Amino acid sequence: MDKKIKIVVCCGTTCHLMGSSEILINKEEIESQFKDQVVISGSPCLGKCKEFAAAQAPYLLINDELICQANLDKVIDKIHQILAKTEE
Amino acid sequence: MKLDKDFFIEVAHVQKFKHGQKVCGDTFMSMKVKHDKRIIAVLSDGLGSGVRANVISTMTATMAITYSANKYDNIKAAETIMNTLPIDSVRKISYATFTIVDIDYEGKCDIIDYDNPPFILIRDGKRFATPNKQYLGNITSLSRKYTLNMASFKLQLGDKLIIFSDGVNQSGMGSNALPFGWGVDKVQEFCEYLATKYPNMAARSFAQEIVEYANANSDYEPQDDITCCVINIRKPRMLAVLTGPPVDKAKDSLMGDIVRNYEGRTAICGGTTAKILSRELQRDVEVDISTLDPIVPCSSTMEGVDLVTEGMLTMGEALKHLESKEFIGDIKTENGATKLVRLFLDSDIIEFYVGTKINDAHQDPNMPVELGIRRNTIRSIAKVLEERYLKDTKIKFL
């Protein structure tokens, strides 16, 4: 596969409080688990907490798709889904 | 303390306690007298060490600074201080030294010194001898004679004034290397060396260097409290802090102009603000994940901007650091808040450009932490920077 999966984690106030750093702390594990098919980066603020409710935070983008109430399980499931699709 | 755009008085001090003591027997205080356009700094060294010395020196410094601020006669003030201090039960004297430095916004400087080591004025990398006067006093009620050293001179751009307690020049006394201590002459040589090698060194770092040297002289177990105060006269270092999105979207471009044209350093505090400026300036923001911290969100980098951080949490944490008693140089953690604090302390004039738009999500009751209102946090930061760190601050709301 030549195209890497891009994950952008929101580092804004709301998302940080709601636990977005969980994904950033595990950045290296996630990236190595998927043998560098995944790139995780941060964004100062995705601005989603103004569009939706703060309770839906933390937000992140996986290949430009918005994930609400993101946590480690959700992210890993989503990566598996995308990988399964590309393999088909 | 601003005289005009090219002349700034920076005051900083560093202390090290006597080995094994939990409080310092030396007291340093400084004050801005805004209505009189003066700055006053006082260093007092109490007899002995520990709590007793701390009490005596605190009393002395407080009295001295209040008398000076109110332009009370110096000699009367000195005698009142000596008369007021409690008498030591062992040595049967009441005693604390003091040095009072009074500088006005035009650079006129008056120094009154009682029993502290002589101050050092460094001009063009060399010690500059100032005309000193001596006053011999006598307190008949205590049957005590005393000598006040008084100096009056004009400060120039680039001058450094160094005041220290005897813990500095007597450091290492009794050791094989320095049987008579470091000595005022050696301290002077060291100051000249520092001033020549690092002419732009911040007052805080300068004082830190001297205190560390004195500490090393006594094998890191100082036998007396060490205090050094450095007053720097130089061009002001400017810092613009942009935080919060403006209420009116049309003002976004104004924020862009500020960053583009600012003569000094710039900092951006706030995720949304960073996004706005990234769009206005067409520069990318990159989050630096290596600065991950449990309390403070990651800081970022942007070309041409010295620091980009998250907003409310970082500023709240920075305020906590500024208000705490802990010496900022001792804080080892590296995160957005400590970086911001260091940037504040390495600047003289700090201008806050505050967008007042409120992020509704921050006020959502579902949030696990209560977030303050940006305006109030900025006001508190500006207040502590003015009062405790003698910075010049301006707040502009957008």
Digit-coded pLDDT (tens) for A53-78: 767 888 989 988 898 888 888 888 88
Domain regions of chain A by residue span: 5-87
Domains, chain B, ranges and CATH?
Answer: 2-234 (3.60.40.10), 238-397 (no CATH)
Least confident of A13-17, B186-190, B194-198: A13-17
Q: What is the mean pLDDT of residues B317-325?
A: 89
At B184, which amino acid appears? V
Q: What is the mean pLDDT of residues B188-211?
A: 93
Phi, psi of B393 (to 5 degrees): -125, 155
Q: B284 CB near a chain A CB, below 8 Å? A: no
Digit-coded pLDDT (tens) for B10-33: 899 999 999 999 999 999 999 988
Task: Report DSSP state, residue B291.
Answer: G
pLDDT for the residue numbered B146? 84
Of residues B325 and B229, more confidently modeled: B229
**Chain B environment of A55 (Cβ under 8 Å):** 364, 366
**B72-76, B87-91, B225-229, B324-328, range with greatest mean pLDDT:** B225-229
Q: Is the pLDDT of residue B281 over 60?
A: yes
Cβ under 8 Å to B: A residues 59-88: none
Q: Is the pLDDT of residue B3 over 60?
A: no
Across the beta sheet with A65-67, the strand order is: A38-43, A5-10, A60-62, A65-67
Q: Is the pLDDT of residue B326 over 80?
A: no
Work out the number of other CB atoms within 10 angstroms of the CB of residue B5. 11
H-only helix segments in A10-54: 13-17, 21-25, 27-33, 48-51
The superfamily (CATH) of domain A5-87 is: Glutaredoxin (3.40.30.10)
Of the candidates B271, B364, B366, which has its C-beta nearest A12's C-beta?
Answer: B271
Are the beta carbons of B310 and A42 separated by less than 8 Å? no
CB B6 within 8 A of CB B235: yes
How remote is the C-alpha of B13 from its chain's centroid? 6
Q: What percent of chain B has pLDDT over 70?
A: 96
Of the candidates B286, B359, B368, which has its C-beta nearest A17's C-beta?
Answer: B368
Q: What is the mean pLDDT of residues B289-309?
A: 89
Digit-coded pLDDT (tens) for B110-121: 999 988 999 999
* CA–CA separation, B105 and B41 (whole Å): 14
Q: Is the pLDDT of residue B127 over 90?
A: yes
Q: Is the pLDDT of residue B1 over 60?
A: no
**Which residues, listed in sequence order, are joined to residue B40 by a DSSP beta bridge?**
B31, B102
Task: Report DSSP state, residue B186.
Answer: H
What single string gives the DSSP state of each residue in B345-397? Answer: HT-SEEEEEE-----GGGG-TTSSS----HHHHHHHHHHHHHHTT--EEEEEE
Mean pLDDT, rounded, of chain B: 89
Work out the number of other CB atoms within 10 angstroms of the CB of residue B69. 15
Question: How far off is chain A from B266, nearest CA to CA, in Å?
Answer: 17
End-to-end CA distance of chain B: 25
pLDDT for the residue numbered B5? 57
pLDDT for the residue numbered B167? 93
From the candidates A10, A16, A50, which should be mutated to test the interface with B, based on the most B CB atoms within 10 A? Answer: A16
**DSSP reduced 3-state for A41:** strand
Question: What ipTM was predicted for this assembly?
Answer: 0.84
- Residue A8: enclosing H or E segment and its boundaries? strand A5-10
